[in-house]
Structure 1
Amino acid sequence: MSEELGNQKRALRAELRERRQNMTSTENAAATAGITRHLIDLATDLSARSISAYLSTPTEPDTRPFLNWANDNGVRTLLPISREDGLLDWTTGDGETEMEGLFGMPEAVGELLGPIAINDVDLILVPAAAVGKDGLRMGWGRGYYDKMLGSMEKCPPVYAILYDAELLDAVPREKHDQPVDGAVTPNGIVQFT
């Protein structure tokens, strides 16, 4: 990665992180309600019976109301467990129990399934710092999701979950960065492909 590109990404991530930290609880609650509604629509439209998602951190759009809906409606949900080697294991968890994983990320507690468990899902939901209008996703810099998406032979639809202001005209691109098929924001579902 060129040093200039790395600096651009770092500056953009810092700006986005600060914007998220400055959101009010009212703004967060409204965003969560919108995102939850659109995630339910997306999963329903795709007739998804099995999905992969993630447990959000306090500054990310809250995925838990959607995960509760999925659990209540018999949608099998895989949640990531970060590994030291940069790969993701998966678990179905019980929908309630959480622990702190690598890098302080919330992780579900359950039977550990290997990295290939994700190959069977109908929909993949990923976190993002920002997404460009061309569908290019910029994560938070650890590369777990780029690695996972880049290694999948037959990838189901992939949607990033983010706030409306994080849909940008463009994001800095490196060759390992993976695009997404769409984004789910408080205001709706955006398709890129």
Structure 2
Amino acid sequence: MIVESKKLIRKHILEERRNISKHEKEEKDKKILTDIISSKEYKEAKKIFIYVSLKDEVDTIELIRAALGDNKEVFVPYVISKKEGMIAVKIQSLEDLESGSYGILEPKDISNTIRDKNQLDLIIAPAVAITKTGYRIGYGGGFYDRFLQDIGENTVAIVIVYEEQVIDDIPVEPHDYIFTNVIYA
């Protein structure tokens, strides 16, 4: 059963991620940030969609700061509901965020939403686990699979993870989005 095996992988990988020392996590976060900022995709992007990290995920707060400092238009997720999924909302600073759904920082004001996701140049997504070929396991809500399902070829989607989250194989379902860009440290 695919769902059950994804749950087992998720449980195992989340435990692995929690076991990364604080110092090692900081070093990996710096390397991933440097790799993203020096990438062609980031340099050319004008509109970037970035998830706001939770405690033991790859830290995106510095990336958001950097993108804002580089005069990029920064959009972050806002969860409408499990059924309706999430939308991309533009922020001007980290002060525009507050704790929202699932304890994740989200925009306080959702009036500045991008209507056409294909206007986004770069999407940076989280993962619990991913293969080197781009198959991803998220947290189980399907938010990113649905958000990315109609993204055009001009939008680049990148997953950022720690090397402990890169695995050889995962069960794949027809709705799973395949990432062609994976950055890890």
TM-score (normalised: structure 1): 0.87
Q: What is the deviation of 1:45?
A: 5.9
Shift of 1:103: 1.7
Structure 1 spans left out of the alignment, 5+ residues: 187-193
Kindly indicate whether the alpha-carbon contact (under 8 Å) linking 2:89 and 2:114 is maintained by their aligned counterparts in 1: no
SS for the counterpart of 1:89 is strand
Partner of 2:134: 135
C-alpha separation between the residues in 1 aligned to 2:118 and 2:56?
29
1:163 Cα deviation (Å)? 0.5
Q: Name which of 91, 94, 112 aligns with 1:93.
A: 91
> What amino acid maps onto 1:102 in structure 2?
S
Equivalent AA in structure 2 for residue 103 of structure 1: Y
Q: Percent identity?
A: 23
| Alignment partner, residue 123 of structure 2 | 124
- Structure 2: distance between partners of 1:96 and 1:115: 18
Letter of the structure 1 residue corresponding to residue 89 of structure 2: T
Match of 2:62 among 26, 42, 65: 65
1:190 maps to what in 2?
Answer: none
Q: SS state of the match for residue 38, structure 2?
A: helix
Q: Which moved more, 1:104-113 or 1:120-129?
A: 104-113
The answer to whether the 8 A contact 1:93-1:111 is kept is no
Distance 2:42 2:68 in 1: 17
Per the alignment, in what secondary structure is the counterpart of residue 149 of structure 2?
Answer: helix
1:60-115, Cα deviation, whole Å (9 max, x unpaired):
00011111111111011110101113321222223222212212222233443446
Q: Give CA deviations for 1:97-140 in whole Å, capped at 9, x if unaligned.
A: 22122122222334434463432111111111111122112111
Taking only aligned residues, the RMSD between alpha carbons, in angstroms, comes to 1.8
Task: Please identify runs of 4+ aligned residues in structure 1 that moved more than 4 A.
Answer: 43-46
Seen in structure 2, the aligned counterparts of structure 1 residues 32 and 153 have a Cα distance that, compared at 3 Å, is closer
- Cα deviation, 1:141-161, whole Å, max 9, x if unaligned, reads 100110011133455111101
Aligned length: 183
Q: Secondary structure at the match of 2:183?
A: strand
CA distance in 2 between partners of 1:126 and 1:43 (Å): 17
Name whichever of 84-93 and 8-17 sits farther off.
Answer: 84-93
**Unmatched runs of 5 consecutive residues or more in structure 2:** none
